[in-house]
Amino acid sequence: MVICEDYNLIFVEVPNTGCTAINRVLTQHYGGRSILHKHAVYYELKREFGRKLKGMTVFATVRSPLEVMMTQFQKMTYDHRNRFSEPERRQAWSLTPKHRKMFNDIQSGLTFSDYLQKYFQREYHNFYLLGCQHVDFLLRHESLQEGFEQVMRHVGVASPVTIPHTNKTEGKKTISEAYAPDVRRHVADVFGPFMEKWGYTFPPEWSVARPSLSRRLRFKAIESAAEFASSTLGVSPNGSPRWIQAVRDGIRPITG
Residue 239: pLDDT above 70?
A: no
Q: pLDDT, tens digit, for every residue of 211-220?
A: 999 999 999 9
**Range name among 41-45, 176-180, 241-245 with the lowest pLDDT average:** 241-245
- Give CA–CA dist 129/192, Å, rounded: 16
CB neighbour burial string for 230-253, b if at least 16 within 10 angstroms, e if fewer: bbeeebbbbbbeeeeeeeeeeeee
Q: What is the pTM of this model?
A: 0.83
